[in-house]
Amino acid sequence: MESQVNDPEAVRQAVRDGYGRIAQSGGSCCGPTTCCGGGSAKALAQAVGYTPAELEGLPDGANMGLSCGNPTAVAGLQPGEVVLDLGSGGGFDVFIAARKVGPAGCVIGVDMTPDMVSKARHNAAVHREQTGLANVEFRLGEIEHLPLADNSVDVVISNCVINLSPDKAQVWREIARVLRPGGRVAVSDVALFRPLPEAIRQTVEALVGCVAGAVLVEETRRMAEEAGLEAISLTPKSGYIDSMVDSNDPLYQKIVGQLPAGARPSEYVTSLNVEARKPEARRCCG
């Protein structure tokens, strides 16, 4: 199991297999039919910052309880913008963003799991019938190698996905590549205040559950800076982690059992909002 977690290709396959099962079952990373903690996916989404208006009228199955924040709430999306969602799953954030950018805008979801892309494309047809909007697209691809041109999107969003990548620095470089000058980043992800015990880091279950692959908060800042982004803002939201523990979520209960006596997961793990911007293009003097 340790070699699987330390092998980048094995990590990708484990994540692809795990989320393929989620797509087929309609469940979440924590179980086959319910969201983390045993509550509804809608309740979890509201707990991490989605409003009832945002959740109303979404295609069935788009919300699978996989969120650890609401990146669309901090993205400041405007009509006509082109938005990219990394690890778009069933299309949850894509459909919410599509309403915000309107018919003149476009939202592109990228996911490496074929079952997720198929599910999202089915949901897109429902979304079009429900809203009249034909402004979403889903592409199969890895977030380390995005199937988009340079300088082609206004905003990159992502929800609890970058932690799953075995090469996070490459993901941040790809974000900077596809953003237009002045483009924005709004990411919700899982990050660490301090390193996790090795027993947790070597657990595939914790990897697919978005914990074992998380990096330190300041590591996230460093990778974003080295990718060339600026105006980086990191906002921890630890209440999400405590709510998983208090609701007896099985993954987080397992983590508690492997922590030092008396420690809480929120002392190690946090939901993190990341905002950043790609520098404006420099103008040469005439």
CA dist., res. 113 & res. 98, Å (int): 22
What are 29's two structure tokens?
């990373």
CA dist., res. 97 & res. 73, Å (int): 9
Q: Which pLDDT tens digits describe the chain residue by residue (286 residues)?
A: 444 556 778 778 878 888 788 888 765 544 433 334 345 778 878 877 889 999 998 998 898 878 888 999 999 999 999 999 999 999 999 999 999 999 999 999 999 999 999 999 999 999 999 999 999 999 999 999 999 999 999 999 999 999 999 899 999 999 999 999 999 999 999 999 998 887 777 665 665 666 768 899 999 999 999 999 999 999 998 777 766 666 666 666 777 777 788 888 888 889 999 999 999 987 666 5
Q: What sections of the chain are H helices per DSSP?
A: 2-6, 8-25, 41-47, 52-55, 71-74, 92-101, 114-131, 168-178, 198-201, 204-208, 217-226, 239-246, 250-257
Dihedral sign (CA 256, 260, 207, 161)? positive
Residues in contact with 262: Cβ distance below 8 Å, sequence separation at least 6, in sequence order: none
User: In the prediction, which pLDDT does 33 show?
Assistant: 35
- In the block, tokens 């939201």 appear at 237
User: In the prediction, which pLDDT does 20 show?
Assistant: 85
CA dist., res. 264 & res. 238, Å (int): 11
Are 27 and 34 within 8 A, CB to CB?
yes
| Topology of domain 2-277, CATH | Rossmann fold (3.40.50)
CA dist., res. 266 & res. 220, Å (int): 18
